[in-house]
Amino acid sequence: MTDARENTGVPVLDVRDLSVRFRMRGGRDIAAVTDARFSVAPGECLALVGESGCGKSVLASALLGLLPANATTTGSAVLGGDTDLLTADERTLARTVRGRRIGLVPQSPAAHLTPVRTVRSQLEESLRELTGVRGSVLREAAVVAAARASFPDGHLDRYPHELSGGLAQRAATALALIGDAPLLLADEPTTGLDRDLVERTVDELRRHTDEGRALLIITHDLAAAERIADRVAVMYAGRIVEIAGAPRFFGAPGPRHPYAKGLLDALPERDFAPIPGMPPELGALPDGCAFAARCAYADARCTGERPAFAADLACHHALTGRTHPLKEAADA
Amino acid sequence: MLELTRITAGYDRRDPVVRDVSLHVAAGEAVGLLGPSGCGKSTLARVAALLHRPDAGTMTLDGTVIRGWRHRAPREQRTAVGVVFQQPRLSADPRLSLRELIAQPLRSTGRRREVPGRVAELAQLVGLSEELLERRPHAVSDGQLQRACLARALVLEPRLLICDEMTAMLDASTTAALVAVVERYRSESGAALLAVGHDRVLLERWCDRTVRWGERNAGPAERERVAAG
């Protein structure tokens, strides 16, 4: 790292009560994200996990100021203790935030790269724009930038379609690292990659985190999350329902929210049993707990009253790691 | 059920992706085909699904030697195989409602009278509500669309189901749900399964046996090159 970013207790990103609403035709509202609250510290990786369509990627777009025009946001998302990403104007976001203070590792790198230009030319452009490197040293700087993400310099003159999924991912990561941003935002960086490449990609992201960056990784791949994360935030139907330390979450005593437990138990290395039903529509969320309809522990209180997010959990029936007595009653 | 013998296939005759590969799936058997990205397993799956003509080798389906692929395959062979692809967005016509999507194979084989009954039956099996059936792909999630694609693959009651990375885009719970649907269909119909993927844990849990494939890949460097093609 170029400068000493000491952990002074100030999180790199501090999100408070972030909500995103989409106004649809006919005056209908879609509650894509509701009251999200979390923070990420330097050198820390927070994994945001949940089913597809639960609002994870909308949250990422909100942080980058890339939401469509029909979206409204409330709450705050303070970057580095001074910039609220939700109220900052486009000029600030474009000139000082994207690439410089937040590096984005995209979901499908092959689509993120410009198809008609080589990796070298894209790296050089980012270097010119973000670091001001010019002239003869630019070529050398591009090789160094590629090496930081383990992109082999023999492939620099290739076009994106000539790269495999793994190499395209590394090219995109190299671009994300150029601005030396204190926060890396990785949106499903491992989708469609095979297991070896998933592990290599997350290990590399972990290495960049260990250098002192904060990493927010959005994923539905629980194995990848377990490998990389310090803490896990579980999202369901637009809300964060549980935040827990990764060792506690994946090991003992396990997740406290029944949805998080269901998601883990669905893994083929565990019970391989799906959670019954499907998530509710974000445009028609129930008044009570959004998971109640699929939950074995749900009672009248769950359907009537929405659980508050307190002590990193939003549930009326927190699990303790042992089988819940109500579960037997529900199964019987 | 399915016998692939010394198949060579690819998109460039001078540089085939699949070289001299044999694979056997017995009646009612579930075989997992494992391999890293770019090893040619999807190409082999396309050959087995009668969607790609191999350059060399023989294939038999229920003891009958296959003479033509794609439109050259007779209907009774084509309809014996159901396929689910990795990316539901790319394999669903965006203009069709999920109901129409599932009904399409029945319509194109002249069995439109069976549409209401079969679609209702399959929607129930894969867990799609009446309301979801009326939507078009842009208004549903990846998981919901893949449920519809699986229903479409089952609508003609295939004797062989081919799942090419069916769950790679999906979360753990949806993955488990779709695998449960496939297994329920197989236990009722006795159909065979060829599941292609790179998730060893998943395929070993799902299938009767798995075949590991990596012969084309000398090492990581070679794999990257192959995958680029």
Q: Is residue A207 part of a domain?
A: yes
The model's confidence at residue A86, banded by pLDDT at 50, 70 and 90, is: very high
* Chain segment A35-85, per-residue pLDDT in tens: 999 999 999 999 999 887 788 888 999 999 999 899 999 999 999 999 999
Which residue shows structure tokens 């050398």? A140
Q: Which DSSP letter does residue B60 get?
A: E
| Phi and psi angles of residue A84, each rounded to the nearest 5 degrees, phi first | -85, 115
* Chain B residue closest in CA terms to A283: B139
Give the pLDDT score at B139.
85
What's the rounded mean pLDDT across residues B19-40? Answer: 90
Q: Is residue A133 part of a domain?
A: yes
CB B24 within 8 A of CB B2: yes
Q: Before A253, cis peptide (omega within 30)?
A: yes
Q: Does residue B215 carry a pLDDT above 50?
A: no
**B176 in A contact zone (CB under 8 Å):** yes
Q: In this structure, what CATH number is given to the domain that contains residue A70?
A: 3.40.50.300
- Among A127, A158, A179, which residue terminates a domain? A179
Are A212 and A244 contained in the same domain? yes
Are A188 and A239 contained in the same domain? yes
Distance CA A184, CA A205 (A): 9
| Phi and psi angles of residue A327, each rounded to the nearest 5 degrees, phi first | -65, -45
Chain B residues closer than 8 Å to A150 by CB = none
* Chain segment B123-178, per-residue pLDDT in tens: 999 999 998 999 999 888 888 999 999 999 999 999 999 999 999 888 899 999 99
Two tokens at B195?
Answer: 């599941």
What's the rounded mean pLDDT across residues B166-195? Answer: 94
Are A188 and A258 contained in the same domain? yes
**A283 in B contact zone (CB under 8 Å):** no
* Chain segment A14-39, per-residue pLDDT in tens: 999 999 999 988 888 889 999 999 99
Are A89 and A53 contained in the same domain? yes
Give the pLDDT score at B225.
35
Give the pLDDT score at B214.
64
Q: How high is the mean pLDDT of chain A?
A: 88
Q: What angle is formed at CA A39 by the lines to CA A258 and CA A63, rounded to 5 degrees?
A: 100
CB distance B171–A163 less than 8 Å? no
What's the rounded mean pLDDT across residues B83-107? Answer: 94
Chain B residues closer than 8 Å to A167 by CB = 224, 228
Chain A residues closer than 8 Å to B205 by CB = 268-269, 272
Interface probe for B, chosen from A278, A281, A295 (most Cβ of B below 10 Å), is: A278
Are A89 and A207 contained in the same domain? yes
Are A186 and A267 contained in the same domain? yes
Q: Does residue B224 carry a pLDDT above 80?
A: no
**B90 in A contact zone (CB under 8 Å):** no
Are A130 and A49 contained in the same domain? no
Q: Is residue A84 part of a domain?
A: yes
Q: Is residue A328 part of a domain?
A: no
Chain A residues closer than 8 Å to B206 by CB = 268
- pLDDT > 90 fraction of chain A, expressed in percent and rounded: 65
Q: Does residue A327 carry a pLDDT above 70?
A: no
Q: How high is the mean pLDDT of chain B?
A: 89
Are A118 and A47 contained in the same domain? no
What is the CB-side half-sphere exposure of residue B217 using CA atoms within 13 A? 19
* Chain segment A175-220, per-residue pLDDT in tens: 999 999 999 999 988 877 778 878 888 998 999 999 999 999 999 8
Q: Which CATH architecture has domain B1-80+192-229?
A: 3-Layer(aba) Sandwich (3.40)
Are A214 and A269 contained in the same domain? yes
Distance CA A39, CA A214 (A): 10
Give the pLDDT score at B15.
86
Give the pLDDT score at A45.
97
Helix (H, G, I), strand (E, B) or coil at A307: coil
Q: Is residue A247 part of a domain?
A: yes
Q: Does residue A328 carry a pLDDT above 70?
A: no
Are A169 and A189 contained in the same domain? no
The set of residues, in sequence order, having a beta carbon less than 8 Å from that of A67 and lying 6+ positions away, is A20, A58, A61, A73
Q: Does residue B221 carry a pLDDT above 50?
A: no
Give the pLDDT score at B61.
95
CB distance A268–B37 less than 8 Å? no
Give the pLDDT score at A120.
96
Q: Is residue A325 part of a domain?
A: no
What is the span of the domain harbouring residue A126? Answer: 113-179
Q: Does residue B65 carry a pLDDT above 60?
A: yes
* Chain segment A309-318, per-residue pLDDT in tens: 988 999 998 8
How many domains, chain A?
Answer: 2
Distance CA B23, CA B59 (A): 10
CB distance B224–A197 less than 8 Å? no
- Between chain A and chain B, how many beta carbons pairs sit less than 8 Å apart? 96
Left (φ > 0), alpha (ψ -120 to 50) or beta: where does A322 sit?
Answer: beta
Confidence (pTM): 0.84
The model's confidence at residue B95, banded by pLDDT at 50, 70 and 90, is: very high
Q: Is residue A319 part of a domain?
A: no
Are A35 and A71 contained in the same domain? yes
Q: How many residues does chain B have?
A: 229
* Distances from the Cα of B53 to the Cα of A224, B26, B68, B81, B162, angstroms: 37, 22, 7, 15, 16
The model's confidence at residue B5, banded by pLDDT at 50, 70 and 90, is: very high
Give the pLDDT score at A321.
54
ipTM computed for the complex: 0.82
The distance of A208 to chain B (nearest Cα, Å) reads: 22
The set of residues, in sequence order, having a beta carbon less than 8 Å from that of A187 and lying 6+ positions away, is A56, A57, A60, A104, A105, A106, A107, A218
Are A138 and A261 contained in the same domain? no
Of residues B219 and A194, more confidence is placed in A194
The model's confidence at residue A8, banded by pLDDT at 50, 70 and 90, is: low
- Among A132, A158, A179, which residue terminates a domain? A179
Give the pLDDT score at A332.
39
Q: Is residue A297 part of a domain?
A: no
